[in-house]
Amino acid sequence: MLKIGFVVNPGFQIMSLSAMSVFEFANIAAGEPVYEVVLLSEHGGPIVNSLGFAMQTAAFDGRSFDTLVVGGATGVAPVSEGVAAFLGRGARRARRIAAICTGAFALAESGLLDGRRATTHWMYTRELASRFPTVRVEEDRIFIADGPVWTSAGMTAGLDLALALVEADRGAEVARQIARVLVMYHRRAGGQSQFSTLLEIAPRSDRIQRALSHAKQNLRSTLSVEELAEAAALSPRQFSRLFHAETGRTPAKAVESLRVEAARLMMEEGRHPIEVIAVETGFADRERMRRAFLRAFGQPPQSIRRGARAAGAATALPA
């Protein structure tokens, strides 16, 4: 059985604990106890979380763990010498160590991120980079695995990190089964952006949301104003006026943003030629996609792909 030590500090963000459900459902999927999860704190006993109620924890001791996971807080919490020392010792004995959200600051404080790639919640990436200049902070990643050290963005990204840990242990199909049980819309790859175009556009009405959902699911289509208006059950003129009023952009600009987001994810996954990605995401040809990438990121698709490959190569290097 693989023992997971989940480290929390006073005021820890309760959302961090949701990642532990992934290991629970891995046991259910296996029909046997594959993982044992132990909630840990420096001194043990009841630890009050971000919502103000206490949870029972075990104290740090000499036992070993296969995996240590550090939960985050709603902000950047101070790290005690005891916690930093425990993480340093634990990392030498554990197969891997991970941090969710601002838990990355505890790993950095322990020296475990020195010279490594890491991420955290987008609100705190610049602070992490400023306080720990030897850490190679990547601001826009769902999670990063650099050798045995894993870090994730905030909140729900902890689920993606935990699923990736289980996938490494038990295979991709088990991870997909767990994602379905948890009713996750899809299991995000580590290289995916922390930002969602649909969330950024944030339409207020169900009609505009339906049109955008239709667009996201049919990127290969032409996605004309007429097609989107039909999905919204509006006339093209009504649709264009309402869309701009709710989102501050034209339907064409919104569709381009959705296509760029999907193309970038495919690019970072690295399984398809650029020409195929252009067709699959509705750009039709690589030149149109190149111009859209320059508008969105200031660099062409090839640069995005080279950066993703370089990052992947760094992750694959032994610790």
Instruction: Give me the pLDDT at residue 166, please.
Output: 94
Whether this model's pTM surpasses 0.95: no
Instruction: Give me the pLDDT at residue 199, please.
Output: 60
* Residues 164/66, Cβ–Cβ less than 8 Å: no
Torsion sign across C-alpha atoms 96, 187, 152, 116: positive
Q: Tokens 């264009």: give the residue.
A: 240
- Between 172-181 and 157-170, two packed helices, what is the crossing angle to 10 degrees? 140
* Residues 107/83, Cβ–Cβ less than 8 Å: no
Q: Which amino acid is at 242?
A: L
Looking at the chain, the whole-number percentage of residues with pLDDT higher than 70 is: 91
Q: Which amino acid is at 42?
A: E
CA 257 to centroid of chain Cα atoms: 19
Q: pLDDT (tens digit, 9 = 90+) per residue, 103-157?
A: 999 999 999 999 999 999 989 999 999 999 999 998 878 899 999 999 999 878 9
Instruction: Give me the pLDDT at residue 218, please.
Output: 93
Question: Mean pLDDT throughout 210-238?
Answer: 93
Instruction: Give me the pLDDT at residue 304, please.
Output: 77
Three-state SS at 215: helix
Question: Mean pLDDT throughout 248-268?
Answer: 89
Torsion sign across C-alpha atoms 162, 63, 49, 104: negative
Integer Cα distance of 102 and 11 in angstroms: 12
Integer Cα distance of 75 and 54 in angstroms: 19
Instruction: Give me the pLDDT at residue 264, please.
Output: 85
Question: Mean pLDDT throughout 96-100?
Answer: 97
Cα dist from 222 to 70, 216, 281, whole Å: 46, 12, 10
In 66-194, alpha helices (H): 81-93, 104-109, 125-131, 157-170, 172-181
Instruction: Give me the pLDDT at residue 195, please.
Output: 55
Integer Cα distance of 55 and 75 in angstroms: 19
Three-state SS at 319: coil
| Better pLDDT: 315 or 139 | 139
Looking at the chain, the whole-number percentage of residues with pLDDT higher than 90 is: 65
219 pLDDT higher than 50: yes
- Between 225-232 and 206-217, two packed helices, what is the crossing angle to 10 degrees? 130
| Better pLDDT: 44 or 74 | 44
